[in-house]
Amino acid sequence: MPLINMDDPAEWDGMYEVPRDDGTGRGHFEIACKRHIVAVSNAEGIIAALGLNATHKIAMIGAGFGWMAKDVAELSGAVVAAVDTSTYIQTRKATDAEIEILNADVSAGSGRAALRQALGITGNSKASFMITEDVLTILTDAECAQLSALLHNLSTVVVHWLTVKDQGFGQDPRMNWKTPAQWKALLPNDLFIQRSGAVVL
């Protein structure tokens, strides 16, 4: 079981609290949503680090409302599928998402098939990249390894965009925090991009 229940609205509110515009304290996830706190600079960092362009087919796993996926698609020209299985996201995507958010569980054959269809992948072809968005930190080490293996079935290049240990952002003690070197030791066949934009090979 993941370390954090991402179906629970309170978890989203807690992780995405931001100062209110009127200075009356901190708001909740809906405020953050309206601000699109996932800035374009994050998408630009991913695009530059991986050399993404219009020839690529990319899935972004744990995409939330798809803000960064939308920016990656628009700025790179790539075909991008945003995936998030959280019931919180799925029940609110009609009002808070600007692109389609697939409810495709990559651990299930039907989910993998839906993702391949969304990317227009047929036969033995694979996606150009599978990119997770701050997913590893809510999983145990064993779950991280399992997810990586599933994603490698869909693409030879698996990338994790994540907040790393001591990088800030509150770092809830329940979560799985590691340095870039520790993540690489756990998943040596994967690439890592921390929020600063540096790729860890």
Q: What's residue 33's pLDDT?
A: 56
Q: What's residue 152's pLDDT?
A: 97
Q: What's residue 109's pLDDT?
A: 93
How far, CA to CA in Å, does 73 sit from each of 21, 41, 67? 30, 13, 10
Q: What are 127's strand-pairing partners?
A: 155
- Read off the DSSP letter of residue 155: B
* Contacts made by residues 184-188, CB under 8 angstroms, sequence distance 24+: 186/141, 186/144, 186/145, 187/144, 187/145, 187/148, 187/158, 187/160
Blockwise average pLDDT, block size 10, the chain, 201 residues: 68 61 57 54 87 97 91 95 93 87 94 96 96 91 96 96 69 80 94 77 67
Please, what are the domains in the chain? 38-200 (3.40.50.150)
Between CA 6 and CA 37 the distance in angstroms is: 18
Longest dimension (CA), the chain: 55
Q: What's residue 24's pLDDT?
A: 60
Instruction: State the Cα angle at 75 between 162 and 180, rounded to 5°.
Output: 20
Q: What's residue 138's pLDDT?
A: 84
